[in-house]
Amino acid sequence: MRKSTVDRVLEVVENVLAAVPFAIVAVVAFVNVVSRYFLNASLAFTSELTVSLAVWMVMMGGVVALREGGHLGFSALHDAATGAVRAVMTVLISAAILAFLAVLLIFGIDVAMLQAESGRTTPSIGIPQWLFTIALPVGALLGAYRTVQAGRNGFRRSTVDALPSEEADR
């Protein structure tokens, strides 16, 4: 199946939002190790930055997993089901994921706005905290798009399975 322009652009955005924090954490951790080894001093900001960027890595990693169909789940029942039962399960699973992402979206927006309004910054390096918290609503929106996409594709496969085959008609 050919990807739309929107899907290709979103794929690049998702990959960048997942890879950049990971690269920053890798570099910061390396610099901290070198600093401890050669200077016998740890850089105080490294753990703060690493933990804060973990929010971006987790949220965007989840989005990429949804996009690629690689998210972990207990799929034994869903995989064993066929036809209408599988279609119903696909809809219910997608609805549950969307409900969870809706909570993350609302909560993430509320917390990020409170942090921005209060001027809250990270203790060691003084970066506005909302820059990290905004990963929740961004990831929730992108995850919702990918969930709808995966649910639609799964529903189509389920309904195609339910159609009688040419061999069954003979």
The number of domains in the chain is 1
Residues 13-29 as b or e (16 or more Cβ within 10 Å = b): ebeebbeebeeebeebe
- Name 54's Cβ contacts closer than 8 Å, sequence gap at least 6: 21, 25
The separation between CA 92 and the C-alpha centre of its own chain, rounded to angstroms, equals 19
- Specify if 17 maps to a domain: yes
- Specify if 168 maps to a domain: no
Q: What is each CA distance from 61 to 69, 79, 107, 154, in whole angstroms?
A: 12, 23, 19, 21
Q: How far apart are CA 24 and CA 38, in angstroms?
A: 21
Q: What is the pLDDT of residue 167?
A: 43
Q: What is each CA distance from 63 to 14, 44, 72, 95, in whole angstroms?
A: 7, 31, 12, 16
In the block, residue with structure tokens 């549950």? 96
- Name 71's Cβ contacts closer than 8 Å, sequence gap at least 6: 62, 65
Q: What is the pLDDT of residue 148?
A: 92
- Specify if 169 maps to a domain: no
- Specify if 170 maps to a domain: no
- Specify if 16 maps to a domain: yes
Mean pLDDT by 10 residues, the chain (170 residues): 87 96 95 89 86 95 88 68 82 91 97 97 93 97 93 72 48
- Specify if 57 maps to a domain: yes
- Specify if 158 maps to a domain: yes
Q: How far apart are CA 63 and CA 56, in angstroms?
A: 11
pLDDT in tens, 131-159: 999 999 999 999 999 999 988 887 777 66
Q: What is the pLDDT of residue 159?
A: 63
Range of the domain at 67: 5-162
pTM exceeds cut of 0.85:
no
- Specify if 50 maps to a domain: yes
